[in-house]
Amino acid sequence: MQDPKLRIAVFISGGGTNLQALIDARSEGYFQADLALVVSSNDEAYGITRAQEAGIPTLVEGQGSLMEALAENKVNFIVLAGYLKIIQEDLLKAYQGRIINIHPSLLPAYGGMGMYGIRVHEAVFKNKEDYSGATVHLVNQEVDGGQVLVQIKTRLGQAKSPEDIQAQVLKAEHLALKLAIKLIEEEDIEIRPFVSKR
């Protein structure tokens, strides 16, 4: 039996440009998956505003039950998009094999504990890398450790600073994330079937 339609919860911590890329992709029909909920670890994240403007329910962690909000919104898939916390054990178990993350480097390079945000691009810049890029991977208990699903490589020819690299890689992230969702819903990428508890 065909898996039920993807109903995605997007987890954010900041500006939410990756979330916005998914909102735009959904509205232009790039993928059919529903953006069912936005969860933020930070009550001041601009991504919350982006979700509200798109009419997507939001939850700030600590201001209500996460598991209840996921169940109420019939969430069957989780996307970490600029989410800076480690996923709790119960959530990892409940959605095992159905959580993906977007990381701003070509994993396994420049990944792991402490490698997030501008720090990644500072290290890439310091090492004078010719390339960087974005990686969408399954999330497991190891930071940035899960199976790689999509990678987009970008040549750093003109980059003159870590900020230049960040801007270039962010474009790759936005494309990689929406492509991963499209490939998953079209079952070109196989993931664990959703087992509803109800």
Q: Give the shortest CB-54-to-ligand GRF separation in angstroms.
A: 14
Q: 3-state DSSP call for residue 36? A: strand
Do 38 and 29 meet the contact criterion of CB atoms below 8 Å apart? no
Does the footprint of ligand GRF cover residue 91 (CB under 6 A)? Answer: no
- The interface with ligand GRF within residues 160-189 (CB under 6 A) comprises 170, 173
Who contacts 180 (Cβ-Cβ below 8 Å, separation ≥6)? 100, 136, 149, 150, 189
Which residue of the set 103, 121, 137, 174 is catalytic?
103
Nearest distance from C-beta of residue 130 to ligand GRF, angstroms? 19
Query: Which candidate, 84, 88, 78, 168, places its Cα nearest to that of 121?
Result: 168
Contact call for residue 51 and ligand GRF (CB under 6 A): no
3-state secondary structure at position 53: helix
103 noted as active-site residue: yes
Name the residue nearer to ligand GRF (CB basis): 104 or 146: 104
Residues that bind ligand GRF (CB under 6 A): 12, 14-19, 47, 81-82, 102, 104, 117, 170, 173
